[in-house]
């Protein structure tokens, strides 16, 4: 502001507010000692630690993008590896097949030996076995053998009796039977 303008404004102030004009211009407010010497550092530290503008606006999109990328991530398998895996896999498969076949033979042998097991036992051996822990297993084995034989004979008899039935029905007889509701009372 030039001197002339300042004088004009001072004159105006003197006319408008003589009390104010007569007062000395003193700053009654005080700033703490050393405040201004640290302010630049304080402001810089605040700027450096501040979250960048728009960070939270884009955060959700960034996270979703990242998740999508993780989902569609393809792990490439080199072709050379497949060539190496094939003979190894074939060898393992061959070992399993051979092992399985050998094991089958053992099972057959075991079954065969089990069939002869009871026949080869002497009476004294059976008596002895009754007193040992394997007694329960043995009894189960015997029960199973007996049940099987009994059941097999029963099934044979039923089959024979069915074969003996005269199945020569006329179509009228069959219709009459089906419409009579008798078959509903048959117990199976």
Partner 1 sequence: MQLSDEEIVAQIKSGKDSNQAFRALIEKYQERLYWHIRRMIIDHDDTDDVLQNVFVKTWKGLANFREDSNLYTWLYRIATNESITFINKKKKENNISIDDESYHLHAGQADYLMGCDEIQEKLEKALLTLPEKQRAVFHMKYYENMKYTQMSEVVGTSVGALKASYHIAVKKIEHYLIEN
Q: Which residues bind partner 1 (CB under 8 A)?
A: 1, 6, 13, 16-20, 23, 25-32, 35-36, 39-40, 42-44, 46-47, 50, 53
- Burial (CB < 10 A; 0-12, 13-18, 19+), residue 129, is middle
CA proximity to 129, closest of 140, 144, 139, 119: 139
Q: Which residues contact 1 (CB under 8 A, 6 or more apart)?
A: 9
Output the smallest distance, CB 66 to partner 1, in A: 27
User: What is the CA angle 175-176-178, rounded to 5?
Assistant: 65
Nearest residue (CB) to partner 1, 44 versus 84 = 44
Paired tokens of 136: 């329960």
Nearest-approach distance from CB 62 to partner 1, in angstroms = 21
Give least dist CB 56 to partner 1, A: 16
Least CB distance to partner 1 at residue 46 (A): 6
48 vs 185 by CB, closer to partner 1:
48
């Amino acid at each position: 502001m030039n001197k002339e303008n300042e004088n004009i404004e001072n004159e105006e102030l003197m006319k408008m507010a003589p009390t104010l004009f007569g007062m000395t211009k003193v700053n009654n407010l005080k700033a703490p000692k050393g405040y201004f010497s640290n302010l630049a550092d304080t402001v810089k530290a605040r700027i450096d630690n501040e979250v960048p503008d728009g960070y939270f606006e884009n955060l959700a999109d960034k996270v979703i993008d990242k998740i999508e990328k993780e989902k569609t991530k393809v792990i490439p398998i080199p072709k050379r590896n497949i060539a190496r895996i094939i003979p190894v896999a074939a060898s393992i498969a061959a070992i399993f097949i051979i092992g399985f076949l050998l094991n089958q033979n053992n099972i057959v042998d075991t079954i065969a030996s089990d069939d002869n097991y009871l026949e080869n036992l002497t009476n004294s051996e059976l008596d002895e076995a009754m007193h040992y822990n394997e007694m329960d297993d043995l009894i189960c084995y015997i029960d199973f053998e007996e049940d099987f034989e009994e059941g097999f004979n029963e099934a044979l008899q039923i089959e024979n009796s069915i074969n003996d039935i005269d199945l020569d029905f006329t179509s009228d007889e069959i219709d009459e039977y089906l419409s009579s509701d008798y078959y509903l009372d048959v117990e199976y």
